[in-house]
Chain A
Amino acid sequence: MKKILLLIISATILLGSCKKDHKAEPEPVKIKIAEKTTSGGLRIALWADKSEFTVAYNKVYVSLAKPDGSEVNDASLTYHPLMNMISMQHSSPVEQPVYISTEHLYGGAVVFSMPSGEMGSWQLTVNVNNEPVVFDVAVAPLPSGTKYTGTFVGTDGNSYTVSLVEPVLPKIGINDIDVLVNRRADMMNFPADEGFIIELNPEMPSMGHGSPNNVNPAHKSNGHYKGKVNFTMTGDWRLHLKLKKGETVVVEDAALDLFF
């Protein structure tokens, strides 16, 4: 009988041995891009999630400190991105910063719509209490085969900038997707457009197949449309986004590409 008992015990251990191990996500580390001092002596630093800005939706953070190092958390801040090209200037979609107390930073976002280089260079003007502080920022191109933001001319004659906010780190399986849509009012103003119905269709171009159980992004706030995307494997994925106003198709295929 002892052996049977032993067997029961070992079998129980066997059953119980399926422990799950959770790995903690690494704390997001911000990287300082540039630093300047205002005429009032405030130290202003520009921060990003990655070491450089890219042609995509970029989170842009600002820290503001008095000369003695103490933090300023009640300043009025606005961002103004500007692309200086030889023949023209234009801005791009922007989300104005608000103070994030947990991070001790002001956080906003800029969609850089093209890389800096021979075509022109980007400036980001941060107005601190109405005083402009101009940063020259480099915007790196994305790896070939990826497209995180694009401008598409709609059937209504308007140009729309469609940008992928999430997923930042795509993984196999269900991912949250967040798409930002902005309409070009003029070369300097790109208000968020909240009136679309979006149909999402992911595809692997190298194989021609899609994936099941995606959830179409629906408008949440400020031009952000949120849904679910299912990546069944790693590799190249194209997100086909159909933008409709009511029953009218405005943009047939706003395609964004990513790979992981």
Chain B
Amino acid sequence: MRNYIVVACGIIAACQSAFAQKTDSSVNYNVYKSLLLREVYIQPGKSVSQSNEELQTGGLQALSDQILERNPGINMIRRGNFAMEPSIRSLSGGRITMTIDGMRIFGACTDRMDPVSSYIEPTNLESILVSFSPGEDLHGTSIGGGVDFKLKEPKFTEGSQLNGMVGSGFESNGNAGQLLAGIEYSSADFAFHADGIYRRSSNYHAGRGTEVFFSQYQKWNGNISVKAKTGLNSYIKADYVQDEGRDIGYPALTMDVGFAKAKIAALSYMQKDPETHTMWETKVYYNFIDHAMDDTRRPVEQVAMHMDMPGTSRTFGAFSSISFKLREHHYFKFQLDGFSNKLSAEMTMYPENAAPMFMYTLPDPARTSIGFDFSDKVFLNSRASIKIGGRLEYLHDFLFTQAGKDQVSGLYNGDISRQRWMKNLSIQGSFHVSPRFDLSAQVAAGARAPTLQEEYSFYIYDRLDGHDYIGNPQLKQEKSINLDLNANFHTKEFKAETNVFSYFLRDYITGSILPGYSTMTIGANGVKQFINISSARLYGAALALSWSPFPAFNITSTNTYTRGTDHRANALLLIAPLKSVNTVSFQAGRGTIFHVESVSNARQNRVNTELYGETPTKGSTILNFGASRNLLFTPAKVLKLSGGVTNLMDSQYSQHLDIMKVLRPGRNFFVRMTLLF
């Protein structure tokens, strides 16, 4: 664990921060925070030192996507101005897991319009935990790690306390606005938290004044969390998040979204023993996503045929995880989990002068899973530690209705349900060469099951390569061997962190042209089916530098690069080019912080248009500027003000992971204020 040098490991870190029962969990974060971030704390802090961070992430007013995008290892796949899809080291979709507080949740849209990150708001969150490796504190098998959104956790306090916040923000580009509020009550044995946010945006303008049509959105999100002590060291917690988006435009796609609704509920029981460093969490959860695409707002000449495309996703699950100190310098954690996910997506087309046409685009596929997860960390001496993590998971995929089975009878023969065992394993060694220099290396064996979409899609259109995709129940699981090397050098003024990684993938899942099949989508180029190709490789590096010659001044540079090739040395799809983010920040006087930032993406020429439909993307650089100030009325009452401009030069640009190269926003002035009380 390269980022928390002192803190033992992620799990223990979580325990300890929980044990400490701090009212402000940002305390340990300033000291050990790494540049190549793993965990981003979201909750607004009252301290000035945190302001720069909040200014950069956009505070609570930014979308979860935008906060994720700040992580050097993450790029976002953009289909519009909303619901961007995270790509960790250019791995996305089924290759990474996305969970909310350990809960499995799956988007309902067949066109990947609703990644999990779109149903969660910064106001709901304590932190975002990013993992780059399988078999490590994850809640599912994966190739490339994943993202866990940690929900708000109200704290128990000695006396009773009532805290709150209200905030708002405005952005000139798209007339976007946010309104948010939160309240937290805490006492010795009861704690309550509630928050809500409303946000809306009209069409934004790309650089040089080009309006990007169908880039509007509006949504609200609410979250309630209740905690009650059941004993000296135990409590129960109930969480409920509801998120409803409406009238969301997707300029990169042929349809928009009428509504996207999520209801997420969880009940947890937590037992802790500070003596033995034991923490035992058991959670039962259910989530339901209801999603409907909409083409009625598009101009008639753009809509070849009106259609309705609703989809739902239901997940019920539970897990129980226990972590404890086995003996001195030896920490152990294991988890047993299970879930059942049911997807359904359909399409009804309305031709003129003919009968409506109905079919399932996802013919009621379901997945049930039982998983066992462990991690074991031993400190060999004061300098070296070893961590071993693993996961074993059993999966059963099937179609849960006869109608679904009937429909795919035209594509597949025989039993198309699948059962499989999945394995993830990772071993990591860390060594502190000197107080300033540490090294770590990790080898991991990853595996992931094909997604239900990859197994059972029924003519799902992909705008990127213009093909209808058919699933393949015969897909083998995708496997990988990952290597990861880190070297970090830290002094008081200077930090340098390097990270080199490679993924050797086998049975890589991708689309392959299915000859002789006629397309279903009007204007599609052909039909593809998901297949396994023998192998693929992904490798890359990250370099982060930070220099603080005096406390009020800081220069940071993070640079990331990935490159992917398939078994025939063709460039893989959706691989981000070299990206460099350079920031200068300084603190003027008491509590006013300025930062200037450049975000550059190199040109991406390594594409394979013939196989994957991608075209090269031009390089781009934008400049951002921001300032923030905390006004302290009383120690308990803080008004946080920030403002700035993104894309100062009004550049017209898009990045390689932007589907259909839809232009990103041009110059945007923003102001934000949050009152904490």
Contacts and interface: CB of A to CB of B under 8 A. Distances in A.
A94 to B, nearest CB: 31
Interface in A186-235: 204-213, 230-235
Interface stretch (A14-22, A40-48, A177-185): A14-22
A173 B518 contact: no
Nearest to B269: A3
A210 B527 CA distance: 12
Given A172-B403, A173-B410, A212-B516, A7 B357 contact: no
Contact of B320 (A4, A174, A206, A236): A4
Nearest to B408: A173
Classify the secondary structure of A's interface with B: loop
Contacts of A234: 355-359
A8 B149 CA distance: 26
Contacts of B458: 232
Contact of B410 (A21, A209, A232, A260): A232
A10 B340 CA distance: 11
B237 to A, nearest CB: 16
Nearest to B358: A234
Contact of B402 (A4, A15, A20, A233): A20
A212 B354 contact: no
B570 interface: no
Nearest to A236: B354
B370 interface: yes
B17 interface: no
A207 B518 CA distance: 11
A22 B405 CA distance: 12
A230 B412 CA distance: 11
B520 interface: yes
A235 B355 contact: yes
A174 B410 contact: yes
A100 interface: no
A213 B370 contact: no
A145 interface: yes
B318 A209 contact: no
B27 interface: no
B355 A236 contact: yes
A18 B398 contact: yes
Interface in A1-15: 3-4, 7-8, 10-11, 14-15
B368 interface: yes
Contacts of B355: 145, 234-236, 259-260
B297 interface: no
A66 B408 CA distance: 51
A235 B406 CA distance: 16
Interface string B346-363: 010101111111111000
Given A172-B359, A233-B359, A234-B358, A209 B519 contact: yes
A50 interface: no
B444 to A, nearest CB: 26
B366 A18 contact: yes
Contact of A206 (B318, B354, B366, B518): B354
Contacts of B357: 204, 206-207, 233-236
B525 interface: no
B25 interface: no
A171 interface: yes
B406 A209 contact: no
Contacts of B318: 7, 10-11
B59 interface: no
Contact of B351 (A4, A173, A207, A211): A207
A212 B336 contact: no
B459 interface: yes
Contacts of A259: 354-355
A171 B410 CA distance: 11
Given A18-B400, A20-B402, A7 B320 contact: yes
B522 interface: yes
A135 to B, nearest CB: 34
Contact of B358 (A17, A20, A208, A235): A235
B633 interface: no
Given A174-B409, A211-B410, A232-B520, A8 B336 contact: yes
B338 interface: yes
B351 A206 contact: yes
Contacts of A208: 522
A206 B355 CA distance: 9
A8 B371 CA distance: 10
B402 A22 contact: yes
A230 B408 CA distance: 9
Given A145-B354, A207-B357, A212-B411, A3 B370 contact: no
B517 interface: yes
A236 B316 CA distance: 38
Interface in A107-158: 145
Contact of B305 (A145, A171, A207): A207
Given A234-B358, A235-B356, A173 B406 contact: yes
Most buried by A among B356, B358, B406, B407: B407
Nearest to A207: B522
B382 to A, nearest CB: 35
Contacts of B408: 173
A204 B351 CA distance: 11
A172 B407 contact: yes
B370 A15 contact: yes
A236 B356 CA distance: 8
A205 B351 CA distance: 10
B359 A15 contact: no
B14 to A, nearest CB: 19
Contacts of A211: 410, 518
A235 to B, nearest CB: 3
Contacts of A22: 402
Contacts of B353: 206
Contacts of A173: 405-410
B368 A232 contact: no
B410 A212 contact: yes
A237 B537 CA distance: 45
B396 interface: yes
A211 B340 CA distance: 32
B282 interface: yes
Interface in B389-415: 396, 398, 400, 402-403, 405-411
Nearest to B412: A213
Contact of A14 (B351, B368, B398, B411): B368
Contacts of A260: 355
A230 B407 CA distance: 9
A230 B410 contact: yes
Contacts of B349: 207, 233, 235
B340 A213 contact: no
A207 B562 CA distance: 41
Most buried by B among A171, A230, A232: A232
A234 B352 CA distance: 15
25 contacts: A3-B280, A4-B320, A15-B338, A15-B368, A18-B366, A18-B396, A21-B402, A145-B354, A145-B355, A172-B358, A173-B408, A207-B351, A207-B522, A209-B518, A209-B520, A212-B410, A212-B518, A232-B458, A233-B347, A233-B349, A235-B349, A236-B355, A236-B357, A259-B354, A260-B355
Given A15-B338, A206-B351, 17 more contacts: A4-B336, A10-B318, A11-B336, A11-B338, A11-B370, A14-B340, A15-B368, A172-B360, A173-B405, A173-B410, A208-B522, A211-B410, A212-B411, A212-B517, A235-B351, A235-B356, A236-B351
Interface of B: 280, 282, 305, 316, 318-320, 336, 338-340, 347, 349, 351-360, 366, 368, 370, 396, 398, 400, 402-403, 405-411, 458-459, 516-520, 522
Interface of A: 3-4, 7-8, 10-11, 14-15, 17-18, 20-23, 145, 171-174, 204-213, 230-236, 259-260
By Cβ-Cβ distance, the 5 closest A-B pairs, closest first, are: A235-B357, A230-B410, A233-B359, A206-B351, A11-B338
